[in-house]
Amino acid sequence: MAGLIKREDIDEVRQRTDIKEVVDGYVTLKGAGLGSYKGLCPFHDERSPSFTVRPQVGRYHCFGCGEDGDVISFVQKLDHTSFHEAVEKLAARIGYELRYEDGGTGPSREEVGKRQRLLDAHKIADEFFRAQLLTAGAAEGRKFLQQRGFDRAAADHFGVGYAPQGWDALLKHLRGRGFTDAELKLTGMFSAGGPGNQQRIYDRFRGRLIWPIRDIAGDTIGFGARKLYEDDQGPKYLNTPETTLYKKSQVLYGIDLAKRNIAKDRQLVVVEGYTDVMACHLAGIPTAVATCGTAFAADHIKIARRLLSDDGTGGEVIFTFDGDAAGQKAALRAFEEDQRFVAQTYVAVEPTGADPCDLRQTRGDAAVRELISSRRPLFEFAIRATLRRHNLDTVEGRVAALRESAPVVAQIRDAGLRPGYARELAGWLGMPIEDVTRAVAAAAKRGAPGAQASGAQGPGSQAGGAQAGGAAARSGGAGYNSTGYNSAPGSGQNAPGVAALPPSGVLPSFHRPDPRDPVASMERQALEVALQEPAMLGGAAWERFATARFATPAYQAIHDAIRATAPGFSGDAVQWVEALRQEVPEPLQPLVSELAVVPLPAHTAEAVQKYCRDILARLFELQITRVKADKLGQLQRLDAATHPEEFQQLNRELMMLEMERRSLRSDA
């Protein structure tokens, strides 16, 4: 029977798993100093990357929203699994066999979490469909692929399969693998029919070509099925319905294959169908993805922005649409979401109406690449589409077109481009530039969404706000307490990127001081060194560090935890930080993670060593200064004539302290 996983095995999985490799499956990470990586946070929408991962200590921390944790909590949150399931998933990833308390074993197939059971069923179904494509019954499916220029290798690469005709081929296969009908009903791969309680389930996909739809981590979560036979009364394309796994508003077909190229090239190409994705990839556009029966919307944009590292430093999103009315409508819907991107958005429309798959069939790979390279800004497309709705041969038509298109120009984020497109619009309308400029300015004043975006949400403002929030968090900014809440007296509002006031019960003594306080800043830096480079605290340095006093209560509490943990600790950095987190009061655990992952201001191993020595020397010098101040006070209160020996002893101690202080400066 199932049991609790042994604590030492949990520690082993945490220690052996490379957190960067896991996070890389969801977020594009870039180097941010020696041993640190940054990317756009997967837990909140941001324009400037503040999500930091430090593999050496096995932790992540977002300096924008405060989310933090280790590789286990990351998998829990992103995959929506329990702690138990996350550990088992990571253990399987590294091939580690877990042990369980009280003679227990890992959960059986029937006992695993519902999500994992669903994933298992989809994986087996995926394998089943792929195998069926090679059977005699799938001749029509293979013919379909061949007619569209896809060979066996292409089908294998994209995992294309075939659902046999009949009512229960997949049903029998999954039942034979131990799945119950109650479980199978939850997968979306089966339909139900029959009266009342006598309803029976049968295969949803029958006699169709099958594409597996995978999430960003590569797990199959649904299927798309293409009609092949004339007697099939269903729709041309039939997808998995909404399930626990499959949310079409959050799914992009091909994202598992395209994610690394999207991150590398900083380009995302959005096409309309499965075969279009295949055609683009095979033609040399490996950044193509497609939505699954829905418009490209907010949840898709969150995925895209994380992969693009959409922080205002480049990147492009290219939408391809048919040239017909439906395609134009889809492009304008995409333009409505344009303001959510910092990257430039484009549209590529084939004048003949051919989609990438048709284009590749008739004119070859080069034609697909030419289509993508012929892209033009999405806002230009939106302006021209607006003008086409009006009769520009009449005064009334031109005035109406100006009224409708001026807000579109006002939505252009780049303030440098806006005047240029105002002039273009004047030319397209045949109207004086002054009239068009006034109309655009009036649209901006009326609060056009895009005008607001260009001023308040563009790379220079919202991104800056995220950077400011991150910087404040980095330095222990004013108004932040140890849990990441704003607690500035009389501030009246939250600081950038910080949550509202904490609930009752949060310890009020752990407020962080003003970052301009040099003592608090130095104490924080010393703790960063202690957490990230504990080897620097060997020998005499440990004695000095252990006897130090910290003026900031939160920092003193962490210092106490270090003193309590370090003497009996001989593990690596991952275990070291986790042990400290367990030792400090719970409200301080996020602060420990933050101190452990914040990049040290050095870019080489030698520079890190020098920086750490300098910071520790400053801490030790501060301690000496405090002790000297105490002894000088004693000396001033002491009557030398009455207590000559004590007076001389204090003077000797002061002289020794001064010599120690000078020695620290010479060693630094």
- pLDDT for 261-278, tens place per residue? 998 899 999 998 999 999
Per-residue HEC secondary structure of 399-442 comes to HHHHHHHHHHHHCCCCCCHHHHHHHHHHHHHCCCHHHHHHHHHH
- Cβ pair 510, 554 in contact under 8 A: yes
Q: Is 395 exposed, middle or buried (0-12, 13-18, 19+ CB in 10 A)?
A: exposed
Bridge partners (DSSP) of residue 239 are: 224
Report residue 403: phi and psi, to 5°.
-60, -35
Q: What pLDDT band is residue 118 in, cutting at 50, 70 and 90?
A: very high
Distance CA(185)–CA(192), nearest Å, equals 8
Beta strands in 322-403 (DSSP E): 344-349, 376-377
More confident residue, 386 or 373: 373
Task: Report the pLDDT averaged over residues 433-452.
Answer: 76
Q: Which secondary-structure segment (H or E) carries 384?
A: helix 378-387
Q: How does residue 365 score in pLDDT terms, banded at 50, 70 and 90?
A: very high
Q: What is the pLDDT, as a whole number, of residue 668?
A: 53
Q: What is the pLDDT of residues 386-437, one digit of tens each?
A: 898 899 989 999 999 999 999 889 888 777 888 999 999 999 999 999 999 9
- The confidence score (pLDDT) of residue 665 equals 61
Only one residue has tokens 């490799």, namely 21
List the alpha helices (DSSP H) in 411-552: 417-429, 433-445, 449-452, 462-474, 518-532, 540-546
pLDDT of 107 over the 80 cut: no
> How many residues are listed for the chain in this entry?
668
pLDDT value, residue 509:
55
**How far apart are alpha carbons 668 and 293 in whole angstroms?**
64
Q: What's residue 108's pLDDT?
A: 44
Comparing 80-84, 213-217, 382-386, which segment has the lowest mean pLDDT?
80-84
Helix (H, G, I), strand (E, B) or coil at 625: helix
| Model pLDDT for residues 60-99, shown as the tens digit of each residue | 999 998 899 999 999 988 876 778 888 988 988 888 888 8
Per the CB < 8 A criterion, the answer to whether 227 and 237 are in contact is yes
> 112 pLDDT band (50/70/90 cuts)?
very low
Q: To the nearest whole number, what is the mean pLDDT of the chain? A: 81
Residues 6+ apart with CB under 8 A from 551: 519, 520, 523
Query: Which segments within 30-113 are labelled E, that is strand?
Result: 30-31, 37-39, 51-54, 59-62, 68-70
- What is the Cα–Cα distance from 317 to 155, expressed in whole angstroms? 27
pLDDT at 114: 79
CA separation for the pair 65, 50 (Å, rounded): 9
> How does pLDDT run across 458-510, given as a tens digit for each residue?
333 333 333 333 333 333 333 333 333 333 333 333 333 333 333 333 344 56
pLDDT value at residue 130:
97
**For residue 178, what are its two tokens?**
């131990």
pLDDT at 539: 75
**What pLDDT does residue 666 have?**
60
Provide the token pair at 616.
């520790």
What pLDDT shows up at residue 631? 67
The set of residues, in sequence order, having a beta carbon less than 8 Å from that of 133 and lying 6+ positions away, is: 141, 142, 155, 160, 161, 162
Q: What is the average per-residue pLDDT within 548-574?
A: 81
Q: 656 pLDDT band (50/70/90 cuts)?
A: confident
Q: What is the pLDDT of residue 342?
A: 80
Per-residue confidence (pLDDT) for residue 412, from 0 to 100:
83
Contacts 24+ apart (CB under 8 A), 547-551: 547/623, 548/619, 548/620, 548/623, 549/623, 549/626, 550/523, 551/519, 551/520, 551/523
Helix (H) or strand (E) holding 161, with range, is strand 161-163
Residue type for 175, please?
A: R
- Residues 637-649 have a mean pLDDT of 74
Which neighbouring-strand residues pair with 88?
Answer: none
Determine the Cα–Cα distance for residues 627 and 621; give it in Å rounded to an integer.
10
Mean pLDDT of 124-141: 97
Which strands make up the sheet holding 208-214, listed edge to edge? 161-163, 208-214, 220-227, 237-239
Asked whether residue 22 carries a pLDDT value surpassing 50, the answer given is yes
Structure tokens at 110: 């029937």
Q: Which of 39-53, 188-202, 227-241, 629-643 has the lowest mean pLDDT?
A: 629-643
pLDDT of residue 322: 67
pLDDT, tens digit (0-9, with 9 covering 90-100), for 137-168: 999 999 999 999 999 999 999 999 999 999 99
Residue 384 has pLDDT above 90, yes or no: no
- Per-residue pLDDT at 661: 64
Q: What CA–CA distance (Å, rounded) separates 489 from 501?
A: 11
